Amino acid sequence: MREGWKEVRLGDVITLNYGKSLISSNRTSGSVPVYSSAGITGYHNSPLADSEGIIVGRKGTIGTVYYSPMPFYCIDTAYYILPSEDYCLKYIYYRVRSLGLEKLNEDSAVPGLNRETAYSQAFYLPPLPEQHVIATMLSSLDDKIALNNTVNRHLEQMAQAIFKSWFVDFEPWGGVMPKDWIIGSLLEIADYLNGLAMQRFRPAKDEIGLPVLKIRELRQRRCDSSSELCSHNIRSEYIIHEGDVIFSWSGSLLVDFWCGGDCGLNQHLFKVTSQKYDKWFYYVWTCHHLTQFVAMAADKATTMGHIKRDALANAEVFLPSQKDYAAIGELLAPLYEQIIGSRIEIRKLALLRDTLLPRLMSGELSVADLSSK
């Protein structure tokens, strides 16, 4: 173990304070974030903790860990940790994240994290100055991820505003669709390839598998260690690459750019491509009809709502003249290219953070080691 590090238990270092009930009807409109075990669930006008702090899931989604940089309210499904001169709060945030508290469920009916069980978790604690340095390094990665996410939200808002101006309100033409435009459908501008039942395409015994892209992975925007694997020997069109447009047409309907690395396309997902039109065009039009598709799926839902291919054939698309198409593309294509590039960078930054976190927390790797490379 590194010099100056000492073995402690979580209860030796911090106090897990109980949150306090605050039902939605008792909240007053304000800017104070209200945290539960699932993260921010709303806002209130008065904090329970008048400082920055850490929130740890106690009931429901146990062991989840959130950091609030501002005063906050923590409801009774979570614990919270306050700052202290004895430790670096941001370091404790990363340390608690690395303890695997989500595995300590002690309630068979409703998942629960017992405070004494959490307190018993042992780890090695570095001296306070080193805590600050480690926290600063990890925070710099999270700050860049947060900045990228914020920029992407603004870029998406800009793109949606441009789409609405040109294709919905027809503002450049006084509110009327140009006469040289025509009406088509989603199936006329793109191919919607349904995925495979990947349980039939498992990796060979000696093969390193390819992660399977399912609805869960699309929703969380990444594959993880629990993702299923398929063979690399599936047909190439069923292999997803970064930047591909994916449309979940069953269950949780959503459209997104996949930026989580190569994977295999599972059934209930469309890979959207086109030989004739650019990515920005079939992406914005598929997104445009998503609300309608969600409503259609809800009307048909028995166990899992979905849409059929004829819904794509009936979804109207306005096809601009070549000149107008080029003009709109000059506005929208760079925005979506930047979003995709930023999302790929987010994935790589998160991977770097998650690789460094356990090694820095265990003392296996020091900040000095990283600085010398």
Q: Which one, of 76, 80, 86, 48, lies nearest residue 67 by Cα?
A: 80
Give me the pLDDT at residue 304, please: 54
Copy the structure tokens of residue 344: 């790929």
Which amino acid appears at position 122 of this protein?
A
49 φψ region: left (φ > 0), alpha (ψ -120 to 50), beta (else): beta
Superfamily for the 182-319 domain: DNA methylase specificity domains (3.90.220.20)
Q: Are strands 78-81 and 53-57 parallel, antiparallel or unpaired?
A: antiparallel
How do residues 153-202 score in pLDDT, each as one tens digit? 999 999 999 999 999 999 999 999 999 999 999 999 999 999 999 999 99
Q: Is the fold of 6-125 the same as that of 182-319? A: yes
Residue 196's contacts (CB-CB under 8 Å, 6 or more residues apart) are 230, 234, 238, 264, 265, 266, 267
With 70 as the cut, is the pLDDT of residue 373 above it? no
Residues 6+ apart with CB under 8 A from 280: 329, 332, 333, 335, 336
The residues spanned by each domain of the chain are 6-125, 182-319
Q: Between β-strands 78-81 and 210-213, what pairing exists: parallel, antiparallel or unpaired?
A: unpaired
What pLDDT is attached to residue 144?
97
CATH code for the domain defined by 6-125: 3.90.220.20
Query: pLDDT for 67-114, tens place per residue?
Result: 999 999 999 999 999 999 999 999 999 999 999 999 988 766 678 999
Of 186, 187, 263, the residue nearest 232 (C-alpha): 263
Residue 1 is predicted with a pLDDT of 64
Distance CA 190, CA 244 (A): 13
What is the torsion angle, in degrees rounded to the nearest 10, for the CA atoms of residue 142, residue 146, residue 149 and residue 155?
-130
User: What value does the mean pLDDT of the chain take?
Assistant: 93
Amino acid (one-letter) located at 249: W
Pairing of strands 210-213, 263-265: parallel
pTM of the model: 0.87
Both tokens of residue 161? 């505003």
Stretch 229-243: mean pLDDT, rounded?
96
| Angle, vertex CA 189, rays to CA 184 and CA 194, nearest 5 | 120
**Lowest-confidence pick of 244-258, 294-308, 331-345, 359-373:** 294-308
